Structure 1
Amino acid sequence: MSIIFVFFNLNLDEKYKTFINRVKENLENCEEIVLINKKKLNNMNLIEQKLDDNSIVVIFNEDIINNTSYIEDFLKLVVKRKIKIFPVAIDKENRIPPVKIINEIQSYDVYEQMRCRNLEGNYLAIAEIFARKVISEVHPLIYDKDGIIFISHRRIDGEDIAARLSDKLKLQGSREFRDNNKIVVGENAQKKIDEVLTKCDVFIFMHTPRAITSEWVKKELKYAIFHNIPILWIRIDEASIKDLEIIPTEKPHLEYKSIDFKNDDNLNNIVNEIKENIFELKYNKISNIYDYDKALKRLMTDNLVLLDKNQGIYKVEATRKGYYYPQRNIKEYIQLFERNIKEEDINNKEEYRDYDSFIMLNDRIDKKEIIDKEKNIVKDNIKNFYYNWKNYLRGDLKMKNKEIIISGAFPDGSEFTKRILTEALIIFAKAILKNGYTLTFGAHPTFQELFFEIYKEEYQINNKSILKMYISKFFEKEYSKKKKELKSKVQLYEVEQKENLLESLSLMREEMIGRKEVGALICLGGKIKNDKKEEGIREEIKIARKYNIPVFIVGSVGGCSSVVAEEYKEAWCDLNNASKDLNEEFRT
């Protein structure tokens, strides 16, 4: 898909050039841009080659007022091909496109967008908002511009600021959910909250000082983390971070004082910052679709055929096993989503027939749900789909008498990188458990809660033997009160302490890694130190290799593991016997 950008009159005033250049910059950073100028409009054959049915044409009403003769033939072609057109009006006097063939199409009204956001004269901010709107059209299965924004807050000290934020978001056209104003009298409040939470596209965590004492807020936050809902963490009035059970990332995305929400100008600025961060959180998940695509192709090879790239639809066909008489092949259609699956997605399946099932997949769904029994249309988690097909194609997976160790910590760096590390931890932990291995780890306070929640989600029965946690008695004062609780969740191995912290950690690492039961060590993140000898990941790699345990280094999550992955990229054989290609995928 390409964005056709009609742009040829540079003799307009500064506000026009400011807006149009910022839109172009934002789109060029994300998508393929085809620039149409006067010269190219004289060569319709060339233009037609650039158009496809999923293109988007962006035109500026002010730009074509004096150039209609150049653009009419082009627009006739675009309308004939039923290609989407986005007219833009910089000034309120030019809200209607000045070409008859498209003058009934609603323009993006820059003046009105500034007015409703109290951003008079801020063409840069509105240009970025418009660019996000275009991108949401380019990636309809990934970015939902109308998705629900779930505002999680504690009423006792967050109700007023959440209400002000909610009202302002609603005024600007966003679909927000805040329990106080969306639950009808007599309705089951928690049931309604849970229902909306499963459908939201962004989760705003309003971290006020009293929020951490609310079981409901904690429950909502855990749900968002474990179901890959983009989380925007907003810290209010320097609320305590150390008391959070699960930290969405190492530090908040945004920080404010509660008084900031009482001034309307301040509130407009806050909402604009929130919307910009929401877009980045959503857009940064685009890579997930490509990762899923790659994983399925590797697993299924010739069994998987791409039918529609823009709609993310594939055909899966494989020999049917396990019956005495010949049967037709299994035939399924699948569709990959990053965003939530909506009603209109489900209803648009008439052209696909003659299948066993049509399966709509994303990584937020808890479990398989049959949504149309007559047509066999199903929603499921993409990882469930992957592992079910893996078992079918390669045989049932048995419990293995081996452990895989996950090592690391949150690195210093961007919030995006830290969110990627959280997602990576969840992905690796689930994969280890689903493939029949024991998950072993050191007692990093944030990581352990993630792993406990994953264990609860994957295993409904009490089977703590599949989790092992090592902890140094150097920290005994800190964990002694929780020891009984920890032992109920995990096989807990306490290691004697040494004279100081570094020596105690070294002994704990040696006892955790240097055992014949350990099948592999996976390194993610980790702090970068001035003295490399103090970097835990380097020490753990050294211990693993001493015992001939293979090591895999994830380089794309930032921190020490990214640095070490670069150092080993020409010497993977020093770490494991896997292929260079596999190690490169871990690195990148």
Structure 2
Amino acid sequence: MKVVFCEPKLTMKKIDNANIFFESCREILDTYVTDKLYISSVFQVDQLLAGNADSNDIFVFFNAEDGKYDQKFLKLIKKYNDIKSRIWAVAMEKNPECRRPPEPVSDKQSFDVSCRNENRNPMKNNMRAIAHIFSRKIVAQTLSPLYRDEVLYFISHRRIDGEHIAAKLADELRHLTRERNVYRDVVNVEVGDDAQKDIDKNLPISDVLIFLQTEEAQNSSYIMKELCYALINDIPILWIQIDNASYSKMEIRPGERPILCYRSQEFDCQERLIEIADEIEEKCFQLIMNSSNQVYSYIEYLNDLNDADKIKLIGDKNSILAYKVEYKEETKDKYDSGIRKHYIQCFGRNPKAADIEKFIEKVKRERTYEVSDKLFLLSNHGYRESEISDTKVTEENFEDYIMNLENVSGVKRQQLNKRIILSGAFPDCDEIYKASLLEAVSVYSREIIKNGYILVFGAHPTFQKLIFDIGRLYAPDIKYSIEMHMDKAYIDGYDVEKLEENCTLVLSDGLQEMRKQMICKKKSELLICLGGKIKEDKAQQGVDIEVELAKKTNVPVALVGTVGGRSSEYAFERIEKNDWLDLNPWEQELNESLFYNVNHRLMVRRLLNKID
């Protein structure tokens, strides 16, 4: 798929504004699109006429102000039209001759720059913002698995001091381009409907969460829930600070500092509001693309498996970021060759229902469906339990898919013979933080086991199955990789033989003895504390007891504060005193990030880098 973009001078006489538009489009295309061609001369037009066009190409040109075109250029338009390429015309002026493209594409709608500029201040340089709207449409076509033009922005705000800002911003973003859907609960929830259910339905399908951080926002548990969900589920967050509002006491921070800062009165000035909407739109696009870019690291790893002859990876020339995967699986059936064939479509963004429908329609039309054993839509967000009407088609996250490929293709995993203790318990708090704790336990366990460490934990019943499932998927040897400690008093409720299939089981006489066995008996690299009960008698708090044992045996302690409970309270006490030296040798910034940052993948990798 190639973007062929003709410069204004090929078709226009007055080119000042058109050149600004063209150069502004190049800013976006040169950053994100690799296969592009800018046409600036008749010589290049002749080359295109002599060469081959492709139905997947996008041909872009500027309409002539007077509707008059060079005959060679008209032949070029006809060439791309005959092959059924996408032809996009840009109308810089509002007179009928300029708005209507020439034959044979006169029935196609032009991108009307003059119309989009009508409600803007003519003294301002709006051309760049309008050009970026157009170029983002091209990116949505050329890199559709990474970006789609029909985005949904979720505005998270506190009504008491942010409603008027949210209302003005939402209206202006919708006005900016008709593809913008903006969700804010006071408007989108129908009278009589359950507001929280509606929020819970729309937040997961949002492309960006726009967080309006007013002074009262940090006191809203609902906003903290929304931030927590977005961070856990890789939804990009645009943090906008209003009126220099304080964020020192925010339970959850979506980053180190706000991305944009405004004064509330700026939203009351229409000219300034237009500029703000443009700035927010640009930042949202950048956040989506930066988040989507993670897809290439997974594709690089699939290429590594291909180079090591573990799999065969074949790119689909007719699709973007789609591949055929073949591998051999050991089988005892003499009639089964063991050759498995997958077809994978990689996404950097969260696949929508429309993406799944389009995917199924495409693979069935091209017979890919028939020749594949399984077909996958892969993303950071995918999970196998999601409901798809076709059982042959599965949503999956990259890490689990790659790990399954490694399992069946015989990839050997390292064993470091180093212990990391994961201490976790549900705090007495809202369910959203319990969900965050489960997510943290899942991510930390996966990274510890996957990187060859021995995961050591107390036999919390809620975490057992989760950790065992992770071990079966990621461990080189599950009994080696998981060491579970249990008080003998609780063993009667378990099938010991089954437990010992999934871990190295260590039994102790009493809870205190169990903690000593877990932390003090063998050398450990790290104690990670997550959650934990807060009790009136602080001497009975499990986190405190385990931290003291770790300190006595010189085991570094990481206090994860984003999941609530005693670990959060303990970390905050340390932040107020700026005192970490007796817990670990790390810099203040890392310790404070563990308190604020809900990106568990990032934080556990930073911790593993420290102990490595």
TM, length-normalised to structure 1: 0.70
| Counterpart for residue 195 of structure 2 | 189
Are residues 1:364 and 2:370 paired?
A: no
Distance 2:229 2:540 in 1: 21
What count of residue pairs does the alignment treat as equivalent? 477
Give the aligned residue type for 1:343.
A
Secondary structure of 1:271's aligned partner: helix
Give the aligned residue type for 2:385.
K
Question: What CA deviation, in whole Å up to 9, does each residue of 1:291-320 have, x standing for no partner?
Answer: 110112223543332224643222222233
| Counterpart for residue 344 of structure 2 | 334
Deviation at 1:106? 0.8
Q: 1:2 to 1:188 in 2, by over 3 A?
A: same
| Counterpart for residue 134 of structure 1 | 138
Secondary structure of 2:240's aligned partner: strand
Give the aligned residue type for 1:160.
H
Question: What CA deviation, in whole Å up to 9, does each residue of 1:351-397 have, x standing for no partner?
Answer: 22233321111112355324024x52111222222223323333798
Distance 1:164 1:116 in 2: 16
**Structure 1 stretches lacking a partner, 5+ long:** 406-425, 441-454, 472-478, 513-524, 528-534, 537-556, 566-574, 577-588
| Counterpart for residue 30 of structure 2 | 28
Are residues 1:302 and 2:311 paired?
A: yes
Deviation at 1:508? 4.7
Secondary structure of 1:372's aligned partner: coil
Deviation at 1:171? 2.4
| Counterpart for residue 89 of structure 2 | 87
| Counterpart for residue 417 of structure 1 | none
**Structure 2 stretches lacking a partner, 5+ long:** 422-441, 457-462, 471-483, 486-517, 520-524, 555-574, 592-601
Deviation at 1:211? 1.7
Deviation at 1:124? 2.3
The range that moved more, 133-142 or 179-188, is 179-188
Q: Which of residues 279, 284, 295 in structure 1 aligns to 2:290?
A: 284
Q: 1:260 to 1:57 in 2, by over 3 A?
A: same
| Counterpart for residue 150 of structure 1 | 154
Secondary structure of 2:109's aligned partner: coil
Q: 1:116 to 1:394 in 2, by over 3 A?
A: farther
Question: What CA deviation, in whole Å up to 9, does each residue of 1:35-77 have, x standing for no partner?
Answer: 22212222345542xx443322110013794433121111111
Give the aligned residue type for 1:194.
D
Distance 2:537 2:209 in 1: 30
Q: Is the 8 A contact 2:420 2:526 kept in 1?
A: no
| Counterpart for residue 437 of structure 1 | 453
Question: What CA deviation, in whole Å up to 9, does each residue of 1:237-277 have, x standing for no partner?
Answer: 22222212232221101112223222322222211110010
The range that moved more, 337-346 or 80-89, is 337-346
Distance 1:116 1:362 in 2: 39
| Counterpart for residue 42 of structure 1 | 46
Give the aligned residue type for 1:207.
Q
TM, length-normalised to structure 2: 0.67
Cα RMSD (Å): 4.3
| Counterpart for residue 407 of structure 2 | 391
Question: What CA deviation, in whole Å up to 9, does each residue of 1:179-222 have, x standing for no partner?
Answer: 12112233332222122111111111121222222222112111
Q: 1:169 to 1:459 in 2, by over 3 A?
A: farther
Q: Is the 8 A contact 2:5 2:38 kept in 1?
A: yes
Deviation at 1:324? 4.8
Deviation at 1:434? 4.5
Q: 1:9 to 1:397 in 2, by over 3 A?
A: closer
Question: What CA deviation, in whole Å up to 9, does each residue of 1:511-559 have, x standing for no partner?
Answer: x9xxxxxxxxxxxx997xxxxxxx99xxxxxxxxxxxxxxxxxxxx9xx
Distance 1:268 1:47 in 2: 44
Q: How does 1:535-546 map to 2 (within 5 A)?
A: none
Q: 1:489 to 1:436 in 2, by over 3 A?
A: farther
Q: Is the 8 A contact 1:335 1:359 kept in 2?
A: yes
Distance 1:461 1:117 in 2: 57
* Higher CA-based Rg: 2
| Counterpart for residue 552 of structure 1 | none
Distance 1:316 1:234 in 2: 43
Distance 2:185 2:351 in 1: 22
| Counterpart for residue 344 of structure 1 | 354
| Counterpart for residue 394 of structure 2 | 378
